[in-house]
Amino acid sequence: MSEYSIKEGLNEEIISDFFQVPKNIYSKNDFRLKVSEDNISKEFLEKDPFFRNGEKTIVITYDALKKPSSRIVLFHKPSKDDFIEESSGYFAYFDSINDNEAVDKLFDKVNEWFNLRNIKHMYGPMSPKITDLRGILVEGFDKYPSIGMPHNKKYYHELLINNNFSKVMGLNEFVTKLKPPYKRLSLIRKIASKKLNDITIRYIDLNNIDEELKKIVDFYNFAWKDNWAFTPIDLEELIYSTKEIIPFLKLSRIIEINNEIIAFAMIIPDFNYISCIDNNVDIEKLNKYRIYFIGVHPKYRKYGITSILLDDLLNNISVEHNIETYNVGWMLDNNKKALNISFKLGGIENIYNKKYNIYKKDIQYEK
């Protein structure tokens, strides 16, 4: 008989234990993300626009002394909303002590919960919310986690593999030390600009953010629709995802033609540098930034718009605002073109490549 017990639900006791699990696992010397427990608690308990037609729950295991030992959050949406394949469920916020028995107990309950909802496939760590953490870190443990990127113990990969999960997709994060000027980009931009005289390049307008977000939603849903695990978002979902960071989006860049967005880069300061490395840094003087999203409308990818956007980020904004490092995350393993461009532009000697895995397990359905 297992020494571990289990609880599942979204009540205040379980949410409190949810926050206790990482505190029981990580030491003061570990890189850990400082999170707002109040904000996350509210997200668990309030109506979440990502789950208007779905469900989420927390599962916790406890050892013989009733100490919280592992945790996970489960997500389920109706099959028409599944963003990888039908009858799929998703998990996130996985943390555990290094004990296969604890993880087996955890996923026994996970399987039971998904079985009751006729779910056949499980993916994670990931969720439909576009700003949630995704993946398990497998390479790059000696660097602090950039904002929006996870950090975990090295043994997490083995725990999931031992529970019959397999890697289904790899994600890359490039921590790039900037060395402007990038002369080739400037040259390509000059050539491309001659063919596109009517483009406008500007910062996001935070004084008109509602209208900006409406346009960004339309652009995002079209520009990213062919990406693995893409799910369309609506305005309410985007506002919900970005409500905490909107004031810090002022360097985000938009390229337009006839008032239509054809390229977009969402950029925010990498606050995690302050919380993980140096809490004496003034946020206004922080020189490390995270590029959350960067994309170009498919119709314009052959016209040099990508080079124009990159030239603006690497040669103009970085110099004007004294940015030393860009962190670009969530670059898929199967996007070979983007990966090659990143290495050629940044120079392999200036790029630190952190790697993450998304895992999948087929669930044995029990009637």
Between 8-12, 30-34, 251-255, 273-277, the lowest mean confidence (pLDDT) is in 30-34
Between 83-92, 149-158, 164-173, the lowest mean confidence (pLDDT) is in 83-92
Q: Are strands 121-124 and 88-96 parallel, antiparallel or unpaired?
A: parallel
Query: Within a 13 Å sphere around the CA of 290, how many CA atoms are in the beta-carbon half?
Result: 20
Give, to the nearest 10 degrees, the angle between helix 235-242 and helix 209-223. Answer: 110
Provide the pLDDT for residue 78.
Answer: 66
Query: What CA–CA distance (Å, rounded) separates 269 from 326?
Result: 9
Whole-number Cα distances in Å, 172 to 183, 225, 333, 356: 26, 19, 7, 6
Name the pLDDT band for 36 (thresholds 50, 70, 90).
confident
Q: Model confidence over 193-217: pLDDT tens digits?
A: 888 888 999 999 999 999 999 999 9
Query: What CA–CA distance (Å, rounded) separates 60 from 109?
Result: 9
Name the pLDDT band for 330 (thresholds 50, 70, 90).
confident
Query: Within a 13 Å sphere around the CA of 35, how many CA atoms are in the beta-carbon half?
Result: 23
Q: Which two tokens stand for residue 175?
A: 């921590």
Q: Which two tokens stand for residue 69?
A: 């030992």
Number of H helices, E strands in the chain: 11, 13
DSSP annotation of 351: E
Provide the pLDDT for residue 365.
Answer: 60
Backbone phi, then psi, for 162, in 5-degree steps?
-65, -20
Nearest to 256 by CA among 225, 211, 291: 211
Residue intervals in the chain for CATH 3.40.630.30: 5-170+358-362, 179-323
Query: What CA–CA distance (Å, rounded) separates 301 from 278?
Result: 39
Q: What mean pLDDT, rounded, does the chain reach? A: 91
* Res 367 pLDDT > 60: no
Query: What CA–CA distance (Å, rounded) separates 200 from 272?
Result: 32
* Res 130 pLDDT > 60: yes
Bridge partners, 75 (sequence order): 56, 90
Nearest to 25 by CA among 102, 83, 112: 102
Per CATH, the architecture of 5-170+358-362 is what?
A: 3-Layer(aba) Sandwich (3.40)
* Res 242 pLDDT > 90: no
* Res 310 pLDDT > 70: yes
Residues 6+ positions from 232 with CB-CB distance below 8 Å:
221, 225
Q: Which residue has the tokens 């900037």?
A: 178
Bridge partners, 121 (sequence order): 88, 362
Provide the pLDDT for residue 366.
Answer: 54
Q: Model confidence over 68-125: pLDDT tens digits?
A: 999 999 998 765 555 567 788 999 999 999 999 999 999 999 999 999 999 999 999 9
Provide the pLDDT for residue 83.
Answer: 59
Query: Within a 13 Å sphere around the CA of 274, how many CA atoms are in the beta-carbon half?
Result: 13
179-323: which CATH number, 3.40.50.300, 3.40.630.30, 3.40.50.970, 3.30.470.20?
3.40.630.30
Q: Which ranges in 226-335 belong to alpha helices (H)? A: 235-242, 272-276, 305-311, 318-320
SS3 334: coil
Provide the pLDDT for residue 184.
Answer: 92
Q: Determine the average pLDDT of the residues in 254-280.
A: 94
Query: What CA–CA distance (Å, rounded) separates 280 from 286?
Result: 10
DSSP annotation of 186: H
What is the value of pTM for the model shown? Answer: 0.93
* Res 317 pLDDT > 60: yes
